[in-house]
Amino acid sequence: MPHARPGFVAIDFGTSNSAVALPQGAGVKLVALEGGQPTMPTAVFYRADTPTQQVDAERLYGRAALAAYVEGVDGRLMRSMKSILGSSLLDQSTDIGAGRSVRYRDVVVGYLRYLKRSAEAEAGKTLPRVVLGRPVFFVDDDPARDAQAQAALEAAARAVGFAEVRFQYEPIAAALDYEARAPREQLVLVADIGGGTSDFSLVRVGPARRGRVERRDDILASHGVHLAGTDFDRHVELAAILPLLGYRSLRPPRKPTEAGEAPREVPSGVYFDLATWHLINTVYAPARVAELRSMKGWYQDPRHHARLMTTVQDHLGHALANAAEQAKIDVALQGAAHIDLGALESGLGAELAEAQAAAAIEADLERIVLAARQTAALAGVTPQQVDALYFTGGSTGLQPLVDRIAAGFPGAELVRGDRFASVAQGLGQHARVVYG
């Protein structure tokens, strides 16, 4: 009787979010990583209040890690760990509080270990083989560092117990869903627009290519910009929410000699920090709060200053950022959004219309659309030669963005993948090919 082959898993180790796929029947299924969700933020929080007798600091992962940071728990949040692969930071250490430090390499290892254990718990067995997704370029224009980044990720995978490690390019993984039904050889522009970057790859797919293990030559061009969902959220917050706290409001004349001068705006730095996720906690520093309190006389409308002070004193910055993100989602789904700001002031709210949201992110939209067109140009392909547009990533739920990209490729079929998990699903399909 033949022995059962060792189990395998596919991991999409993303910059913003990660997902894991297991074989199921003739297809794949996504592992419920956290609270039943098929994706999890790529985040680790090291608690500084871990008892000193414990060698390693207690760690929280995913949404729990973000929640601890937002709630002000003493410790260190690590995000976007993928971006340090191939850099000199990888073997450096960073302080995590209470006299402890951790190597960045070990942060990556710890996160991968959590993903592996979650998959094994669902599979009910050990999983010694893995397919990992990788971008076309970990590091742009530096083949040596790019190879170093893949080697570092492979070493981390082996450190958590994977004995066999394979890689597949993320745009190929995303395109596999489309390729499964492609009737002939076609050119597909994969648009992966997530939280931090908008990435495009022009990929050749077709029946004759299905099942190939090596697909690097099928990627004709890749390009991208560091603009995506978190940038949209920031613009929405600045446009619809922060004016109620005084953003872009005018200062009253402070001296008689200023009476004939054009009014000046209140300082905008605090508002930009409140709208930038990783800078929000900086506005809660006692010295910063005292400085803002002293600026009361700079506001013509005292309600603006009062709301700003409530935000920084009650640590409501992340709640406002979350409200902006939800408003963006509501506009994408419904064409308009009501933003409830009752936590800031009873009865306070704001409205966001689709036209206002589109205007707020117009400059970013134009740069993203240009990147899509440049990807085809890099491959020597005209927009008319592109057969299909495949959209994946959380930010592709924003219809004006999809429409603008599609307008540049007349005749191309518009195909939507799973916004959050198509790469993981494609990696799982590829794992079935390489591991049987």
Return all residues near 347 (Cβ < 8 A) that are at least 6 apart: none
Looking at the domain assignment, is residue 170 inside a domain? Answer: no
For 71-97, what is each residue's pLDDT tens digit?
Answer: 888 888 888 888 888 888 888 888 887
Using alpha carbons, list the distances in angstroms from residue 304 to 60, 145, 171: 37, 49, 46
Give the per-residue pLDDT at 167: 95
Looking at the domain assignment, is residue 157 inside a domain? Answer: yes
Return all residues near 159 (Cβ < 8 A) that are at least 6 apart: 109, 112
- State mean pLDDT over 297-317: 95
Domain check: are 202 and 144 in the same one? no
Look at residue 3 and tell me whether its pLDDT is greater than 80.
Answer: no
Whole-number mean pLDDT of the chain? 89
Looking at the domain assignment, is residue 73 inside a domain? Answer: yes
For 11-68, what is each residue's pLDDT tens digit?
Answer: 999 888 899 999 998 889 999 998 888 899 999 999 988 877 676 778 999 999 999 9
Domain check: are 142 and 224 in the same one? no
Look at residue 291 and tell me whether its pLDDT is greater than 80.
Answer: yes
Domain check: are 255 and 321 in the same one? yes
Domain check: are 193 and 256 in the same one? yes
For 337-382, what is each residue's pLDDT tens digit?
Answer: 999 999 999 999 999 998 898 899 899 999 999 999 999 999 999 9
Percentage of the residues of the chain whose pLDDT score is greater than 70: 97
Domain check: are 208 and 295 in the same one? yes
Domain check: are 144 and 222 in the same one? no
Give the per-residue pLDDT at 341: 96
Domain count, the chain: 2
Domain check: are 133 and 227 in the same one? no
Domain check: are 116 and 54 in the same one? yes
More confident residue, 244 or 319: 244
Tell which of 162, 192, 209 closes a domain. 162
More confident residue, 221 or 335: 221
pLDDT-derived band at 4, boundaries 50, 70, 90:
low
pLDDT-derived band at 255, boundaries 50, 70, 90:
low
CATH of the domain at 114: 3.30.420.40
Give the per-residue pLDDT at 1: 40
Looking at the domain assignment, is residue 429 inside a domain? Answer: no
Looking at the domain assignment, is residue 434 inside a domain? Answer: no
Domain check: are 133 and 280 in the same one? no
Domain check: are 156 and 265 in the same one? no
Look at residue 140 and tell me whether its pLDDT is greater than 50.
Answer: yes
In terms of residue numbers, what domain contains 264? 181-417
pLDDT-derived band at 2, boundaries 50, 70, 90:
very low
Looking at the domain assignment, is residue 356 inside a domain? Answer: yes
Q: What is the pTM of this model?
A: 0.81
More confident residue, 158 or 396: 158
Domain check: are 317 and 387 in the same one? yes
Residue 360: CB atoms within 10 Å: 20
More confident residue, 306 or 141: 306
Q: Are strands 164-169 and 129-134 parallel, antiparallel or unpaired?
A: parallel
For 105-124, what is each residue's pLDDT tens digit?
Answer: 999 999 999 999 999 999 99
Q: Are 198 and 163 in contact (CB under 8 A)?
A: no
For 165-192, what is each residue's pLDDT tens digit?
Answer: 999 999 989 988 888 888 899 999 999 8
Domain check: are 140 and 199 in the same one? no
Backbone angles phi and psi of 334, in degrees to 5: -120, -10
Looking at the domain assignment, is residue 3 inside a domain? Answer: no
Backbone angles phi and psi of 59, in degrees to 5: -120, 145
Looking at the domain assignment, is residue 297 inside a domain? Answer: yes
Give the per-residue pLDDT at 60: 95
How many whole angstroms separate alpha carbon 277 and alpha carbon 317?
9
Look at residue 258 and tell me whether its pLDDT is greater than 60.
Answer: no
